[in-house]
Amino acid sequence: MHDITHAELLTRAKELDFPTRHHIDGREESGGGGAFAVVAPRDGQVLAHVADAGEAEVALAVAAARRAFDSGPWPRLAPAERGRVLVRIADLLEEHREWLALTVTLEMGKPITDAYQIELRAIINTFRWYGQLADKLTDESPHTAPDALALVTREPAGVVGAVVPWNFPLTLAGWKVAPALAAGCTVVLKPSENSPLSALLLARVATEAGLPPGVLNVVTGDGPTAGRALGLHPNVDVLAFTGSTAVGRYFLHYAADSNLKRVWLELGGKSPNIVLPDAPDLAKAAATAAWGIFFNQGEMCTAPSRLLVHSSVAEEVTEAIVARARELRVGDPLDPETEMGALVDEAHLERVRGHIAGGQEQGSRLRTGGSRVLTATGGSYLEPTVFDRVDPASRLAREEIFGPVLSVLTFDDVDEAVRLANATEYGLAAGLWTSDLNTAHRVSRALKAGTVWVNCYEEGDLTVPFGGVKQSGNGRDKSGHALDKYTELKTTWIQL
């Protein structure tokens, strides 16, 4: 996006026409409820008023998905044909890439360069990858005695409810929707009320690509009403959720109180990033740590928010991160030169500021940042923030902040680093910097996390699974393993 100027992007943003109605059974439906405002965090202005789903609208969407699954063509298509539709969706997402990136930037504050180059790349690749995988799956025929034949077949699980957050609104929707569709399921997607516009555009694109009516439905509304209705609905067979651990608990209750639907959860994190003194490149380790915590305004479940650094190199590494934080360009997310945009809304900004104030009260040392900036814009902007001398027992070190706030803790040996890293209820991701192969393997195995990055952070592609352990959730997005969430195994035993 660097070849387009800030002024040009401002003009194009004003020309956008947003969908504002639910997408149900292949059509846009207003429903019988009211509407809610979608506010741009860059300037506090209302982007659109979007239909607000209640139980009735969720029921309509689930009924459409149920019909499409029980009697529609999608689950009965040859897998290769389903795959071709998913690839067409990927092609159309690429065609509308700028339009979608602008929408993501406007609704949640992500810098336009990141929205275009990272967010859109991710969802395009996701639909293309699962489209190409759709006809590569195989069933099993275990060896049996000569007088019998056993078949183990994968069958689509049914209607999938997918509830996704605002921080990566298209990426995380794609990680749920694409494998569910590849498996032959139908989907009701509920995006965050902060970022419904991009999800509605995704539904438009999918319909244009030839997805049959009812296969992908999008209802917009809040969690306590629309999310709850989806979680409790007896005709939803699988519920896939990405969001906070607190809300994940609600979905488990909803499943218990309804039809015992399977619930797959990708939840919060307080990820440790361990820097040992034999790191192959301390400057790179520091630069990556800074990028990891400030990327996407720190609004990432995998953000390396706890930097665990050996005491012998702690000041060197911390000072490099502080220097990077001070030079980071915070500004209008529609400016291609902006490196850190706005937090998603005023309420979230105040929650993050509360954590910063609490850190200071509990004795952590504020090395840089901590203040709100660019207040004249009306947007929700915060300085990149770094604390050191953080007590491992403090809220700053233990609670997920979901903002650009780094906590630096020190250790004196590897065993202490592992103890600190695992001293959390979360287990989503971790980083490790070392030149010693033995240490890399030993520590990676000891860390309680779904993903461990060694001498890097946030690397990987669709071939590897993503998800957490402990209170960071269960199940996996990405890779062929994601299909496990959306399929049932059936055994057929034939006596010959």
The 10s digit of each residue's pLDDT in 65-123 is 999 999 999 999 999 999 999 999 999 999 999 999 999 999 999 999 999 999 999 99
Q: What is the mean pLDDT of residues 430-451?
A: 98
**Candidate list 57, 185, 301, 383, residue with the active-site label:** 301
* pLDDT single digits (tens) 182-232: 999 999 999 999 999 999 999 999 999 999 999 999 999 999 999 999 999
**Candidate list 266, 299, 339, 400, residue with the active-site label:** 266
266 is catalytic: yes
Q: Are strands 186-190 and 159-163 parallel, antiparallel or unpaired?
A: parallel
* pLDDT single digits (tens) 231-281: 999 999 999 999 999 999 999 999 999 999 999 999 999 999 999 999 999
Task: Let me know: does 179 contact 130? Beta carbons within 8 Å.
Answer: yes
301 is catalytic: yes
Token duo for residue 465: 């699974």
Token duo for residue 474: 């269960």
Token duo for residue 81: 């044909």
| Local structure of residue 381 (DSSP, 8 states) | E
Closest CA to 310 of 446, 433, 455, 436: 433
Contacts of 404 (CB under 8 A, 6+ apart): 293, 294, 297, 298, 340, 352, 369, 382, 383, 384, 385
Task: Let me know: does 98 contact 121? Beta carbons within 8 Å.
Answer: no
* Structure confidence at residue 488 as a pLDDT band (50, 70, 90): very high
Q: Looking at the whole model, is its pTM more than 0.85?
A: yes
CA distances from 191 to 81, 91, 162, 458 (A): 27, 22, 8, 24
Task: Let me know: does 56 contact 32? Beta carbons within 8 Å.
Answer: yes
